[in-house]
Chain A
Amino acid sequence: MPVMNIKKFSFTYAGAEIPSLHNISLPIQKNKITALIGPSGCGKSTLLRSMNRIHDLYPGNKYDGKIELLDLETEKFKNILEIKKENEFIELRQKVGMIFQKPTPFPMSIFDNVAYGLKIAGIKNKTELADRVEASLKGSALWKEVHDRLGKSAMGLSGGQQQRLCIARAVAVKPEVLLFDEPTSALDPISTGAIEELIVELKKDVSIAIVTHNMQQASRISDFTAFMYLGDLIEYDKTENIFLNPKEKKTEDYITGRFG
């Protein structure tokens, strides 16, 4: 069952002549991991950043088509491209979280980082905050390492720990979908392994879309894979089909390393 449906979606950056994405149609399945792969500049980040409309921080971009998000309460799909008001944006971004390529801890303590999304969502109760911070840190496999230094600055953590902190921070607000944009490309292999395990663990609770340049990573962790090329979606299928049995010649060339 899909939690998001991207339908005939096109995107043009402000001031650009031609669209960066054309006519993309793609589901994001519930409690599954969907990988977006493709050569640099093909529009993976652009697509991902449309899914929580973080693009809208910068004015003038143009959307076409639909991106529907399942409302878990009413079980109905809602087109997020119709959102205009700030409170609707806030609601969307609480439902669709995002983790970036480089870890982005806020200049505050470890605890406050994880509690941040909860605090701005209006949760004030100290014990509830503490409980949810603990649960998120445990869920992000970071609790053991940081439980005795929650009051210390998050800047003092290692890169891998910072990235897991950012995941804990995003998980704390209980999103429906999490978007990862190359979350491990700035990390060493051990931290990368930890994050991959964590992402697989997380799909129990959230649906995940992940952009990656690392083909092994896509095949290791994802259930579905979308291959993009020059702003087009070339092929979308179960991950094993894409990697073992691609239908398109371009997909095959890419995953066998003939270009990209």
Chain B
Amino acid sequence: MIELENVSKIYPNGVKGLQDINLTIDKGEFISIVGLSGAGKSTLLRSINRLIDISSGDIRINEQSITSANEKSLRLIRRDIGMIFQNFNLVKRSSVLRNVLSGRVAHNNTLRTLLNLFPQKDVDLALKALERVNILDKAYTRSSELSGGQQQRVSIARALAQEAKIILADEPTASLDPVTTKQVMDDLKKINTEDEVTVIINLHFVDLAKEYSTRIIGLREGKVVFDGSPAEATDEVFEEIYGRSLKEDELLGEENL
């Protein structure tokens, strides 16, 4: 369970990224966060695993405050939270397997990981994760030699191998074509239902959000302006979130798939 209590974020330059957010997210939910560019979607997501320090309020993961956690317990909390980035953030020169194994660093002692001596159990986990996203045959390929969609699946595999209980995905499909987008979303959905992993995802396309999620959260100027099921998210609601009617490019469009 993730709880956000009166969370606000003010950037050093005075921009209000988040304003008084209150949310409770249960295990196994698939949540899409939608909103205009600059609405604070990334800020919200990155606050949850404290890649950004919030200015006030409290965020608790399974009853434990990440906001006030010390270095060591912060690392232990993060160990259970996978993160998937828009531009993949893989080490391009390292092999696929090494990138996936890097999800296991917090499970092992530092010296072992520095010497690249991961236990066989971890290697098995990593290979299985690669198989689940259908790129096992690329295990020893350099990451830079993969396509964008394949690279994104490597980072999903990293979250899988990490045995994350929560996956945060910040516009994971923004640099992918419609077909690959669907594959990546399907992968995430599969992990969500099969492993009961909570997925929180920032999305640009509202029809993707409606198709995949169990709950949609609309942000506008750092505030939650909508929180409900996809059925409740009518076109009027999106007009409210975006402050205008939807544009063509905010729909992925069935005909594109």
Instruction: Specify whether A and B are partners.
Output: no
Give the interface of A toward B (CB within 8 A): none
